[in-house]
Amino acid sequence: MENFDYYNPVQVLFGKGKIAAIEQLVPRDAKVMLTYGGGSIKRNGVHEQVTRALRHHDVTEFGGIEPNPRYETLMKAVEQARREEVGYLLAVGGGSVIDGTKFIAAAARYRDGDPWEIVSRGARVDDALPLASVLTLPATGSEMNSNSVITREKTREKLSFSSRRVFPRFSVLDPETTFSLPPRQLANGVIDAFVHVMEQYYTTGTGDAIQDRFAEGILETLIELGPRLVNEQPEYASRATFTWAATMALNGLIGCGVPQDWSSHHVGHELTAFHGLDHGVTLAIVLPGIMHATAASRRGKLLQYAARVWNIDPASPRAGELAIERTEEFFRSLGVKTRLSEHGIGMETIERIVNRFRERGESALGGIPDVHAGNAREILVSRL
């Protein structure tokens, strides 16, 4: 493993009934803005639990943060936070609400220009409102990391930023809040967590035994759990395992000291930007293509993945291919379509995406140079 500094200051409160504990954790000397999405928290009782816990706090609300949160919407929240002199943000929802709230936190204190610069050109975040989260959708890891992905409707861009200043102060992970999730979002969450692991594991890295075993453990858990989560009635134990697996997939731990390749995400974000596909769906489409394209350059890791995760004999002639097929079959077993044509997407979009990468001069789409603007076209064509 390479040298690394691991920093993750998020306090996690995990388990049934933990929402009540936020009463003690949210400061009382600041006005709190509760942020949420399209209303799922009102239908499943989470909003009620949160407002009960904050009954002695001064609370204002901002709802309507959409999936793939939009800059245009978030700037309205920024105006409200400034107008009402909000001093603390509490995000209640999935990754979109938490990511959006991270942007609100940074934008509210960004005084040097248009806050979009934080995302578009990585402008430094020197200050941000403190924030915390109550997670209702295990998938992104946003509850325990410093990342945020924001979409700008006008220009159809979906871009990310990362700053230590937007780590949540604490996050509540109550698996019971996931009981109301529809199968589509459960499938998205399983795939997102799976691909987060892959982007830190299926790389050119070799010999990082502890990181590899952590990663393989999460992958195997998701494979075992996924179809049950999507097809069976909710039950606490499996939701708890799923919640923790998704958090561990992207809280920085398994990525310490190892090479990373975020190309499936990079390409996937473009599919969402142009067509609005769910984040998890884009990953299920792109990852198998990236794996094919890198099967030779990452042969050792592919065979390790085949053997350890799918119990395929690595000496068999098609071991790598088989592992890629199994991966795609796994995504499909969750009810997700893994081909561009199944979503009505064809060459026109592929050309637009590839042109974007070329214009940006991207020589390594996700961090490792075997996936680049030059082979993006071939990768996407293989997913038609």
Task: By CB under 6 A, name the binding residues for ligand NZQ.
Answer: 37-41, 44, 67-68, 93-97, 99, 136-137, 139-142, 145, 147-149, 177-178, 180-181, 185, 188, 192, 250, 265, 279
The closest alpha carbon to 328, from 281, 270, 378, belongs to: 281
The closest alpha carbon to 99, from 51, 160, 16, belongs to: 160
Decide which of ligand NZQ, Zn ion, none touches 100; Cβ closer than 5 to 8 Å per partner kind: none
d(C-alpha 273, C-alpha 241), whole Å? 31
HSE toward the beta carbon, residue 191, CA cutoff 13 A: 33
Q: Classify residue 207 by burial, with Cβ atoms within 10 Å: 0-12, 13-18, 19+.
A: exposed
Decide which of Zn ion, ligand NZQ, none touches 120; Cβ closer than 5 to 8 Å per partner kind: none
Helix 347-359 to helix 263-275 angle (10° resolution) is 120
What's the Cα-to-Cα distance from 116 to each of 70, 75, 126, 220, rounded to whole Å?
A: 11, 9, 15, 39
- Indicate the residue among 136 and 163 with the shorter CB distance to ligand NZQ: 136
Span interacting with Zn ion, options 36-44, 188-196, 224-232, 369-377, rule CB under 5 A: 188-196
Decide which of Zn ion, ligand NZQ, none touches 239; Cβ closer than 5 to 8 Å per partner kind: none
Decide which of Zn ion, ligand NZQ, none touches 203; Cβ closer than 5 to 8 Å per partner kind: none
d(C-alpha 92, C-alpha 99), whole Å? 11
- Indicate the residue among 151 and 304 with the shorter CB distance to ligand NZQ: 151
- Indicate the residue among 281 and 293 with the shorter CB distance to ligand NZQ: 281
**Least separation in angstroms between CB 296 and ligand NZQ:** 27
Indicate which single residue of 192, 261, 278, 328 sits in contact with Zn ion (rule: CB under 5 A). 192
Mode of pairing for the β-strands spanning 131-135 and 170-173: parallel
Q: Give, for 31, the enclosing helix (H) or strand (E).
A: strand 31-35
- Indicate the residue among 62 and 194 with the shorter CB distance to Zn ion: 194
- Indicate the residue among 252 and 320 with the shorter CB distance to ligand NZQ: 252
Which ranges of the chain would DSSP assign to H, the alpha helix?
22-25, 40-43, 46-53, 71-83, 95-108, 116-120, 183-201, 209-231, 236-249, 263-275, 279-293, 299-310, 319-333, 347-359, 373-381
**Least separation in angstroms between CB 203 and Zn ion:** 16
**Least separation in angstroms between CB 140 and Zn ion:** 6
Decide which of ligand NZQ, Zn ion, none touches 141; Cβ closer than 5 to 8 Å per partner kind: ligand NZQ
Closest residue to Zn ion, judged by C-beta, is 192
- Indicate the residue among 50 and 97 with the shorter CB distance to Zn ion: 97
Residue numbers of the site for Zn ion (CB under 5 A)? 192
